[in-house]
Amino acid sequence: MKKILLGLAAAGLGTMLAFGTVATAEEAHNAAEPTHFPIKKPEEMNWTFAGPFGRYDKQQLQRGLKIYKEVCSACHSMNLVAFRSLAELGYSDAQIKAFAAEYEVPGEPNADGEPTTRKAIPADHFPSPYANPEAAAAANGGAVPPDFSLIAKARAVERGFPRFLIDIFTQYQEGGPDYIHALLTGFNETPPEGMQIPEGTHYNPFFIAAKSLKMAQPLQDGQVTYDDGSPQTLTQYSQDVAAFLMWAAEPHLEARKKTGFRVMLFLVLFAGLIYVAKRRIWSDVEH
Amino acid sequence: MSGGHSSYTPNSGIEKWFDARLPLPRLLYDSFVAYPVPRNLNYAYAFGGILAIMLVSQILTGVVLAMHYAASTGIAFNSVEKIMRDVNSGWLLRYLHSNGASMFFLAVYIHIFRGLYYGSYKAPRELLWILGVIILLLMMATAFMGYVLPWGQMSFWGATVITGFFTAFPIIGDPIQQLLLGGFAVDNPTLNRFFSLHYLLPFMIAGVVVLHVWALHVTGQTNPTGIEVKSKTDTVAFTPYATVKDAFGLVLFLILFAYFVFYLPNFMGHPDNYIQADSLKTPAHIVPEWYFLPFYAMLRAITFNIGPINSKLGGVLTMFGSIAILFLVPWLDTSKVRSAVYRPWYKLFFWIFVANAIMLGWLGSRPAEGLYVVFSQLGTAYYFGFFIVLMPLLGLVETPRRLPNSITEAVLAKTKGGGRPVGVTAAPETKG
């Protein structure tokens, strides 16, 4: 067994050396015409939901919802999230009912067969601000604003070697929120000299797919009024909305981590018991 | 070994009644209680049992997931999200199933490496090994089709790329691809047949597993020394000895599994698969799941034409060849000694092979450009060279270390000085 472990270590070391050689041999980036995106890696923020005991901060999620509703939802749908699930943010049934009623959704056809709309109920999902994807594209210079239900899990900047291995031990799963925060706060940067920014797009070194994107800076300092006394700054807004979108993408994160703790505790104790039993059973056999 | 007489004696009335009609208790007793296993098995031998449990786990979670899944391009993606959000413990089932696939492959690769290290494929276990390779092939097909079902971007484009491989074959290529897809592009017929096959193949795997275990119980297990069992002192009874040891290995493995399910459930997945499939938007890099990456690297390593074979067909043949060659391993190895423990050179090249496989996996995740291609080509050359050149050659030129006469002798030599009075066991060369 020791030899196997030693062998594994040797194999790992050899592989790492090979990795290093290849990685350093990668072509140097051209600052004006980069080929790999994003140009800058997102900063790792502190999230309350990170780590084995991570929990959502309900106050933060409520602030994030406010930003989504007042700013993002003008263009971005969130069609997998039902109003009823807002109960997890600490809202009462009556509050959710009132919240849902602010939205209009397609209703049943009337007696003459004409399409109607009605006020949304808690069972409805956040509706799209556009009638169809074509309308969304037309209103946004040809780019459909992505749906936000899963955006926090659908975007993550590649971590690279060896960080992706370290991530296993640090349980880093917050690439999505880190990316959202970086993107929202990254519009103020000026492009490097000589870089051509296509007409109708906005430079953002944190954008995952290109040097610039169709969306203009959506959030500014002081844009949304908080009623809980939190700072009304861009960086606070970006973190709040990123946390909210993480909840939207992974609503059962808390249950998962709580269950996980119990399961791990059980498995570790069980492993200890079996090990003791194994020692007893094998004590009369040399092996 | 099952060649021996059954040691089962029915005690109660009901056992006797059964034994006279359907001796199932006898079969189970002889296979999983009295079955003798070498006493020197280490934890590398626990992966067979772990794999059996993983197969059962995948089937159980999969059957429940199928109750909530809808195989139709319009609603497949949302039906999976419905499982994640609204089905009771649906998130748990789905994360168990998706991470379970990764764990299944992790375990099967360790199981295969263990077989290569200890020479488990050598006579008389050739069929046992070949059945194992068939299971690996079925697993790969199942996993690939399962990855298409959530109908995310990587599902769609992975399916497009992988089914596209078949078009590399002249004449028969296009008809095969159209048969796989049920049309000319990945669409609803593809999703439906993949769902059907994804549900079917695990049961075929289970069938081959029965044959695999049957073949194992005919020849008996190998062991780290590679010496066949010669006497009763070489073995212990499966229960309780192997059962409790396997159980401990299994629980350690489950800790790793649970760690990923509960704390890193999306670590092995690709973020793009949380975007619904869109036939008009190609992802920047189409990458398969991690367990296919070494083969993907070998596919892309062939960037040149070889005579009439163009680079595309060459790549596909290389990829299929990398699995096909495993079927020949029992006859490629010319060594008379089974275990790498007594083969210093084979041991060295084996560990290089492991490192090379990991390197190929990493290269498979990189874009096919610049030095990555060169390294992929070197890695591919070593992969095939290991089987075609090193295995036959080493057996002829290598001088193995002296083999112990029996498993018992090897075990006692190893534990000597550990459990015996000092003096009795002191080696002669340390005296005086």
Q: Which residue of B has its CA nearest to A11?
A: B355
Chain B residues in contact with A153 by the CB 8 A cut-off are: 266, 271, 274
> Which pLDDT score, from 0 to 100, does residue A6 have?
66
Q: Which residue of B has its CA nearest to A159?
A: B267
Helices of type H across B264-310 = 293-301
> Which pLDDT score, from 0 to 100, does residue B418 have?
47
Of the candidates A1, A15, A259, the beta carbon closest to that of B43 is on: A1
Of the candidates B42, B95, B240, the beta carbon closest to that of A281 is on: B240
Report the C-alpha gap between B183 and B262 in whole angstroms.
39
Using 50, 70 and 90 to split pLDDT, how confident is the model at A274? very high
Does A76 count as an annotated binding residue?
yes
Contact, A260 vs B262, CB < 8 A? yes
Contact A11 B355 (CB under 8 A): yes
Residues 6+ positions from B172 with CB-CB distance below 8 Å: none
Which CATH number is A58-253 given? 1.10.760.10
Report the C-alpha gap between B89 and B69 in whole angstroms.
14
Strands A104-106 and A117-119: antiparallel
Q: What percent of chain A has pLDDT above 70?
A: 90
Can you state the angle between helices B47-68 and B243-263, rounded to 10 degrees?
40
Question: With the C-alpha atoms ordered B205, B210, B215, B220, is the resulting torsion angle positive or negative?
Answer: positive
Mean pLDDT across the stretch A10-38? 65
Of the candidates B78, B241, B358, the beta carbon closest to that of A80 is on: B78
Does B270 count as an annotated binding residue?
no
Chain A residues in contact with B265 by the CB 8 A cut-off are: 173, 256
Q: Which residues pair with A202 in a beta bridge?
A: A213
| DSSP helix/strand/coil, A59 | helix
Question: With the C-alpha atoms ordered B94, B95, B96, B102, is the resulting torsion angle positive or negative?
Answer: positive
Report the C-alpha gap between B365 and B285 in whole angstroms.
9
Retrieve residue B227's tokens: 């010496």
Q: CA dihedral in degrees (B336, B340, B344, B350; nearest 10)?
A: 120
Report the C-alpha gap between A44 and A204 in whole angstroms.
17
Identify which of A239, A240, A255, A118 has the alpha carbon closest to the alpha carbon of residue A182: A239
Does B5 count as an annotated binding residue?
no
pTM score > 0.90 for this model?
Answer: yes
> Which pLDDT score, from 0 to 100, does residue B89 have?
97
Of the candidates B262, B355, B419, the beta carbon closest to that of A259 is on: B262
Average pLDDT over chain A, rounded to an integer: 91
Mean pLDDT across the stretch A242-258? 98
Q: Which residue of A has its CA nearest to B353?
A: A11
Retrieve residue A135's tokens: 């309308």
- Encode pLDDT of B277-290 as tens digits: 999 999 988 999 99
Q: Find tokens 């090249």 and name the residue.
A: B349
Q: Which domains does chain B have, with CATH numbers?
A: 34-279 (1.20.810.10), 287-397 (no CATH)
Q: Which residues pair with B309 in a beta bridge?
A: B306
Q: Which of A153, A250, A262, A280 should one mutate to test binding to chain B, selecting the residue with the greatest count of B CBs within 10 A?
A: A153
Map out the domains of chain A as residue ranges: 58-253
CA atoms within 13 A of residue A90's CA, in its CB half-sphere: 9
Interface ipTM:
0.91
The answer on pLDDT for A251 being more than 50 is yes
Chain A residues in contact with B274 by the CB 8 A cut-off are: 150, 153-154, 249
Using 50, 70 and 90 to split pLDDT, how confident is the model at A287? confident
Radius of gyration of chain A (CA): 25
Tens-level pLDDT at each residue, chain B (432 residues) = 444 578 899 989 999 999 999 999 999 999 999 999 999 999 999 999 999 999 999 999 999 999 999 999 999 999 999 999 999 999 999 999 999 999 999 999 999 999 999 999 999 999 999 999 999 999 999 999 999 999 999 999 999 999 999 999 999 999 999 999 999 999 999 999 999 999 999 999 999 999 999 999 999 999 999 999 999 999 999 999 999 999 999 999 999 999 999 999 999 999 999 999 999 999 988 999 999 999 999 999 999 999 889 999 999 999 999 999 999 999 999 999 999 999 999 999 999 999 999 999 999 999 888 899 999 999 999 999 999 999 999 999 999 999 999 999 999 988 765 444 433 443 444 433
Count of beta carbons in the 10 Å neighbourhood of residue B317? 18
Helices of type H across B302-423 = 311-332, 344-364, 371-385, 391-397, 407-415
Report the C-alpha gap between A68 and A81 in whole angstroms.
13
| A201 CB burial (10 A radius; 0-12, 13-18, 19+) | middle
* A&B contacts, CB < 8 Å: 142
